């Protein structure tokens, strides 16, 4: 079995790698070639134990293999007699993983970055509402509906319907954010259009390389299913990146950093089990269009906090608000919690790192889902 780590230019290889197109960069984006190490998976196994198959896959993915739910120690024992035969040759991540799952009867579940989490296929058997586009994977996850009667002398009934999708990018693909969702068609089973309740808003990191997208629809009271939902998703990939780094973070009091046109001021407030890092950043160019782009780039990644041994704190939430003009305030809370797959807890906060990437190329992911049931 061979490991294929290719340093590729997405623009050059895009049409080969993706079912979707790769668009030209937006005019405001810097013209850079994005070179990324993308894993192409090869797995040639005949009657191999299931465990071995996933271990080999995880090696190539450079991921920790774990069982979900944690503690299901009898998982591999239950699959001891199960054998896998696959002939996967240099396939993009999601296609390779899908083939392995189909062949093994074991499936993967929501995993943290760097973790490949497997579970019985019985629990999530037969995901019919998914799209696999090479290095991107999109699921129609579920729907939440609410009908509300506002009582009064003129009672009024409102029905809302939130459909959410999950988009996963393969590890190694430097996906930055979902920039746009162009909805081409939403209809009921009879082909009648269903209105959007509100305009879709760009989504910033849900977690690394994974997003949850929500569409808010206004179906009529008697609509029992979405017949078809079709559109194109735009995923921005990271171009160049640079980092705001502050050592001795516990003592940071209005520490200033400059990244290109962006000026950062970092202040730390100690908190139980970690610290809160307050960051004010402003764009010195005083140009509205450039500011809108740079604030989206900044919001597309989360800062990280490490102890002196490089152990990472859990990002426990954040908030922010505008400060007028071309400045924003952001408050990031870090707490000493065990990350999934981590061996021990971090010690004292030591180093703050905020890797900020500029959006480079955009991948277009066309999608179409049919027959999503409503209540």
Partner 1 sequence: MNATTIRAVIGTLLLLAAFCAAGDPQTRPSAANEEKEIKSLIAQFSSDDPQIRGHAQKVLIQIGVAAKPFLEAALRSDDPDVATRAELTLQMIDDPTSPTYVSVDVKDTAASVVIHSLEAQAHEPLLVYQQSAQQRIAATKLTIHAIHEPFWAVLLQVCEAVDLRPDCYMPERGGWSLREDAGTWDDRNTTIRGPFAVHVASISRQAQRNFANPARRNFERTTIGAFCHAEKKTHAQAIQNLRVTRCEDENGKPIGAFGRIGLNSFSFQGYATFDITLNSASAKKISLLEGDVEFVLEAGREHIEVNDLLHAANVQRTPGPIRLAVRDCRSTADKRWAVRITVHRDGRDQPAWASLLNQLRNSPPRVEDSQGRPLMNWGETSSKPDGETTEIEYFYGNFVNYGRGIPTDPVKLIWDVPTRTQSVSVPFHFVEIPIP
Residues that bind partner 1 (CB under 8 A): 123-124, 127, 129-130, 139-157, 159, 269, 278, 280, 321, 323, 329, 331, 372-375
* Full 3-state SS string of 169-188: ECCCCCEEEEEEEEEEEEEC
Task: Report the C-alpha gap between 275 and 285 in whole angstroms.
Answer: 31
If the CB atoms of residues 142 and 273 are measured against partner 1, the closer one turns out to be 142
The CB-of-158 to partner 1 minimum distance in angstroms stands at 9
Beta bridge partners of 354: 244
Tokens of 283: 């764009």
CB 319 → partner 1: shortest distance, Å? Answer: 9
To partner 1, the closest distance from the beta carbon of 227 in angstroms equals 15
The strand order across the sheet containing 35-49 reads 4-9, 35-49, 83-92
| In the complex, minimum distance from the CB of residue 322 to partner 1, in angstroms, rounded to a whole number | 10
Least separation, in Å, of the C-beta of 327 and partner 1? 9
Strands 175-187 and 225-247: antiparallel
Minimum distance from residue 201 beta carbon to partner 1 (Å):
21
In the complex, minimum distance from the CB of residue 111 to partner 1, in angstroms, rounded to a whole number:
15
Q: What span, in angstroms and rounded, lies between the C-alpha atoms of 32 and 12?
A: 13
**Rg of the chain over CA atoms, in angstroms?**
23
How far is 82 from 177, CA to CA, in rounded Å? 39
> Which helix H or strand E contains 17, and what residues bound it?
helix 10-17
Place of tokens 């190539």: 60
Q: Which residues of 329-351 are buried (b: 16+ CB within 10 A; e: fewer)?
A: ebbbbbbbeebebeeeebeebbb
- Cβ proximity to partner 1: between 18 and 94 the closer is 94
- The pairing of strands 35-49 and 4-9 is antiparallel
- Closer by beta carbon to partner 1, 153 or else 309: 153
Closest to partner 1 by CB, 10 vs 215, is: 215
* Minimum CB distance to partner 1 smaller for 136 or for 236: 136
Which of 17/280 has CB closer to partner 1? 280
CB of 222 to partner 1, least distance (A): 13
Residue closer to partner 1 by CB (options 39, 227) is 227
CB of 31 or CB of 151, closer to partner 1: 151
| Token pair recorded at residue 310 | 């490089």
- At a CB cut-off of 8 Å and minimum separation 6, what does 78 contact? 120
The answer to whether 281 and 298 are in contact (CB under 8 A) is: yes
Distance (Å, rounded) from C-alpha 39 to C-alpha 45?
A: 18
Length, in residues, of the chain:
375
């Amino acid at each position: 079995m061979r490991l294929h780590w290719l340093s590729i230019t997405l623009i050059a290889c895009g049409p080969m790698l993706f079912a979707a197109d790769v668009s030209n960069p937006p005019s405001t984006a810097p013209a850079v070639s994005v070179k990324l190490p993308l894993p192409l998976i090869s797995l040639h196994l005949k009657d191999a134990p299931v465990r071995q198959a996933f271990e080999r896959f995880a090696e190539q993915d450079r991921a920790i293999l774990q069982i979900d739910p944690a503690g299901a120690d009898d998982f591999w024992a239950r699959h001891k007699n199960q054998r896998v035969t696959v002939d996967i040759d240099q396939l993009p991540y999601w296609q390779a993983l899908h083939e392995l799952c189909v062949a093994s009867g074991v499936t993967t579940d929501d995993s943290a970055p760097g973790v490949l989490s497997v579970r019985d296929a019985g629990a999530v058997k037969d995901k019919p509402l998914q799209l696999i586009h090479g290095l991107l994977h999109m699921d129609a996850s579920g729907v939440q509906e609410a009908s509300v009667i506002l009582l009064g002398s003129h009672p009024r009934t409102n029905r809302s319907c939130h459909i959410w999708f999950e988009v996963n990018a393969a590890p190694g693909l430097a996906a930055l954010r979902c920039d746009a969702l162009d909805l081409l068609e939403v209809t009921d089973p009879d082909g009648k259009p269903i209105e959007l309740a509100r305009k879709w808003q760009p989504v910033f990191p849900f977690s690394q390389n994974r997003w949850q997208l929500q569409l808010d629809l206004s179906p009529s009271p008697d609509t029992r299913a979405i017949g078809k939902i079709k559109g194109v998703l735009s995923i921005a990939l990271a171009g160049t990146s640079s980092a705001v780094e502050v050592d001795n973070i516990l003592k940071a009091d209005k520490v200033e950093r400059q990244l290109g046109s962006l000026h950062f001021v970092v202040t730390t407030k100690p908190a139980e089990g970690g610290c809160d890092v307050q960051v004010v950043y402003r764009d010195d160019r005083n140009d509205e269009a450039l500011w809108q782009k740079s604030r989206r780039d900044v919001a597309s990644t989360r800062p990280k906090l490490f102890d002196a041994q490089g152990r990472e704190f859990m990002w426990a939430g954040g908030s922010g608000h505008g400060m007028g003009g071309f400045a924003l305030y952001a408050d990031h809370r870090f707490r000493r919690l065990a990350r999934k797959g981590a061996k021990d807890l971090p010690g004292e906060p030591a180093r703050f790192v905020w890797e900020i990437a500029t959006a480079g190329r955009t991948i277009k992911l066309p999608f179409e889902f049919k027959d999503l049931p409503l209540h």
